[in-house]
């Protein structure tokens, strides 16, 4: 990560930096600034474990995608209540452990943020999730890689 991006200390500063980077055709720096904003927001959330922090990063990354798509700040309005009700890890599992795939992956891929997909988080911490959620995540990630 570029030192200028590492030194950004608020999500707002990251947002401004990303916009300026895009004006100068520096998509690489804009992506880094977006990732830094996600990191800062996740730190502020107060997740207790690394896996929870990565799951929260995934939610914030998805919000970045929604906001870009909608042209205005957009919250993950179904995900946050699930997190409040079931906890971070259980909410992510519930989101993935369905027949229909999560909507976010394709959009995350388009923005270069595919590592933030819930399925990717599950595969990095398989011991925290059910066998079913891990199998679904493996299958989806394989399918997505084949279709890229």
pLDDT tens digits for range 120-148? 999 999 999 999 999 988 888 887 767 65
Residues 97, 139, single domain; the answer is yes
- Domain match, 8 and 79 both: no
Burial class of 134 by CB neighbour count within 10 A (0 to 12, 13 to 18, 19+): buried
The tens digit of pLDDT for each residue in 6-42 reads 999 999 999 899 999 999 999 999 989 988 998 899 8
The answer to whether the CB of 82 falls within 8 A of the CB of 91 is yes
Give yes or no: residues 38 and 64 share one domain.
Answer: no
Q: Does residue 32 share a domain with residue 58?
A: no
Q: What is the extent of the structural domain holding 82?
A: 51-148
Are 97 and 136 in contact by the 8 Å Cβ rule? The answer is yes
Question: Do residue 67 and residue 86 come from a single domain?
Answer: yes
What distances in angstroms separate CA 69 from CA 4, 32, 43, 51, 63, one per listed residue? 27, 19, 25, 27, 10
Q: How many residues does the chain have?
A: 148
- Whether residues 11 and 72 fall in one domain: no
Q: What pLDDT score does 126 carry?
A: 95
Residues 108 and 69 in one domain: yes
Please give the Cα distance from 18 to 4 (Å, whole number). Answer: 11
How many domains would you assign to the chain?
Answer: 2
Q: For residue 67, name the pLDDT band (cuts at 50, 70, 90).
A: confident
Q: Phi/psi zone of residue 46: left (φ > 0), alpha (ψ -120 to 50 degrees), beta? A: left
66 & 25 share domain: no
Q: Are residues 13 and 61 in the same domain?
A: no
């Amino acid at each position: 990560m570029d030192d200028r991006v590492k030194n950004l200390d608020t999500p707002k500063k990251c947002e401004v930096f990303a916009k300026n980077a895009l004006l100068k055709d520096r998509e690489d720096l804009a992506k880094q600034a977006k990732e830094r904003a996600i990191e800062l927001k996740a730190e502020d959330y107060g997740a207790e474990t690394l896996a929870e922090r990565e799951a929260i990063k995934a939610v914030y990354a998805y919000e970045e995608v929604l906001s870009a798509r909608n042209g205005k700040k957009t919250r993950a309005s179904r995900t946050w209540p699930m997190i409040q009700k079931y906890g971070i890890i259980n909410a992510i599992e519930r989101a993935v452990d369905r027949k229909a795939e999560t909507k976010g992956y394709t959009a995350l891929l388009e923005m270069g943020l595919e590592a933030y997909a819930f399925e990717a988080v599950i595969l990095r911490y398989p011991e925290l999730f059910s066998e079913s959620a891990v199998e679904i995540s493996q299958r989806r990630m394989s399918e997505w890689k084949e279709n890229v």
